[in-house]
Amino acid sequence: MQGNRELPVRLRDGRHQEAKRRIARMVASLIPQGRHAIGLTGGTTTAEVLRALHGRRDLTIITNSLSIGMEAAEQGRPASSSPAVCCAPVRSRWWDRWPSRP
């Protein structure tokens, strides 16, 4: 790779897979039992974290990644995913449309 360009996820998904699984198991072990909401960004390592948390029905996943949100839904877990929010132009933010106060 030249410069700071990153490989697309579909090409790097299989790279260093066992290391990513070890990281994911360690991260999953650090999340305490009980109802929690956790945030996961997109990426191959965070996808492994989600997979490592598969048996944890006490967690809600919050993500800005469509792929993480879809995988969480496939696991049957509560998830909130809104990738369009991060891409919305400034003029369409909710506070720009909020009625002005007198």
> Which residue, among 56, 62, 57, has the nearest Cα to 85 in the 3D structure?
62
- Distance of alpha carbon 29 from alpha carbon 17, whole angstroms: 18
Mean pLDDT, the chain, integer: 77
Structure confidence by residue, pLDDT tens digits, 23-63:
999 999 999 999 999 999 888 999 999 999 998 989 988 88
Burial 70-81 (b: 16+ CB within 10 A, else e): ebbeebebebeb
To the question of pTM greater than 0.85 for the whole model, the response is: no
Going by pLDDT thresholds of 50, 70 and 90, the confidence category of residue 100 is low
Q: What are phi and psi of 7, to 5 degrees?
A: -65, 145
**pLDDT bucket at 77, cuts 50 / 70 / 90:** confident
Is the pLDDT confidence value at 6 over 70? Answer: no
